[in-house]
Amino acid sequence: MGRWTLKLSPWNRDTAIDWLDKAIANGDGGSWWSMVITDTRTDEQNKKLWPMLQDVATQVEWFGQSLPKEDWKLIFLAALNRETRIVPNLENDGFVNLSTSSSKLSKAQFSDLIELIYKLGAERAVVWTDPKEQQASAPQEAAA
């Protein structure tokens, strides 16, 4: 007897269907099947992240350093989670960040991550290269 858990997402639909078929066919109660439905990030959110990080990386200096987009992602994730887990590396001459990855974020958490990037972009006058981002960050004119 085993217990199996599958976190459902758009990317593992076929696996979920296969598990359900097996659970129905295996109706002897010998196994427990558990499927957890989560509200995972959307493709649109995912496609938005890296261009925004690239814009920040090319336009913002952080404590006198130009950082690559991968480093900016870690900075934003640390701010989002307000938790940083760091351990020494194998050589004991540096550290490794074990904080949450963006792939584990819910749709709402991913939205918060994007908002953090917008916030820093507004504070640092980042000009977004994606026309949709330019519209989203433009000041809204008051209706007459």
Q: Is the dihedral of CA 61, 62, 66, 68 positive or negative?
A: negative
CATH superfamily entry for domain 43-128: NinB (1.10.3790.10)
Question: Which residue is listed with tokens 């870690």?
Answer: 74
pLDDT score at 31: 60
pLDDT score at 144: 45
If you count them, how many residues does the chain have?
Answer: 144
pLDDT for 18-41, tens place per residue? 877 877 777 655 566 666 666 777
Its pTM stands at: 0.64
**Domain spans of the chain?**
3-37, 43-128
pLDDT score at 80: 86
